[in-house]
Amino acid sequence: MMLQRVSGVIKTDEEIELIRISSLLVGKTLALMAAHLKPGINTLFLDKMAEEFIRDQNARPVFKGYNGFPASLCISVNEEVVHGIPGKRELKDGDVVSIDCGIEKNGFIGDSAYTFAVGQVSDENIRLLHVTHECLNRAVEAAVAGNRVGDISHAVQSHAEANGFGVVRELVGHGVGKSLHEKPEIPNYGKRGSGPLLKEGMVLAIEPMINRGVRNVKTLSDHWTVVTADLLPAAHYEHNVAVRKNKSEVLSSFREIIEAEKLNNNLNTKHHI
């Protein structure tokens, strides 16, 4: 127990509350993005807006400068799974757009992601978003003390594959706290009862990354952007979750994001659960 406390894997209730503050601020930032998403807007404009908002809250966009990443947000469009770099690209009607945001405030980090449907998105892509969101919810339910990481992983894999979608294996969820990436790693595929034991006080960033087609991915020459091998769209949702006895506790929130989506006539909300 002492070694776990020193390593930061197990958080105190006070630390969990600080992570919650950062996680909820991520949700507010993503809600701001939801209010402005529309065909014709470029992703760098969104990134600059997000950075200004985050810094106005006396917080820091933790992605910016992380291992050399040049932006505050990861904005991944269509076949881009994760780590898309904001730039001059303009969003188009029918795009599927994943936005991942990390924020440090009061020394603790929140890290959450949400996938948006811009305009007239195909029914199959809407189903992809819906199922990926369901994968996240099922994974969160499995994040209870006494379970193992494999129970979370299996919850994602079984539901995604039952619906005919590919589960990305090269990228994982992770612990989160004072550092962006802490132990344990949380794969989106695996067997029930396998992997590290989940203990009360762990805080996990659970993030299904699901492809409409094959599970295979590749990284572009920018050394960041991960795309699907078949160039079919992908979806990505992420919550920060505290492991508790007999339950899990979601520290992040999609509520304000969904409210902003509903008010933005440029967004398709058929994927809401």
Residue 270's pLDDT band, with cuts at 50, 70 and 90, is: confident
Q: What are 163-196's pLDDT values in tens digits?
A: 999 999 999 999 999 999 999 999 999 999 999 9
- Assess whether pLDDT exceeds 50 at residue 1: no
Q: What are 86-123's pLDDT values in tens digits?
A: 999 999 999 999 999 999 999 999 999 999 999 999 99
The H or E element containing residue 81 is strand 80-82
Which residue from 200, 232, 201, 197 is spatially nearest to 214, judged by alpha carbons?
A: 232
Q: What are the boundaries of each domain within the chain?
A: 2-263
DSSP class of residue 238? B
The residue-averaged pLDDT of 8-12 equals 87
Question: Helix, strand, or coil here: 264?
Answer: coil
Which residue from 130, 100, 97, 96 is spatially nearest to 29, judged by alpha carbons?
A: 100
Q: What are 210-259's pLDDT values in tens digits?
A: 999 999 999 999 999 999 999 999 999 999 999 999 999 999 999 999 99
The residue-averaged pLDDT of 185-208 equals 97
Question: Helix, strand, or coil here: 28?
Answer: helix
Give the homologous superfamily in CATH for domain 2-263. Creatinase/methionine aminopeptidase superfamily (3.90.230.10)
CA distances from 28 to 95, 112, 188, 231 (A): 22, 11, 26, 31
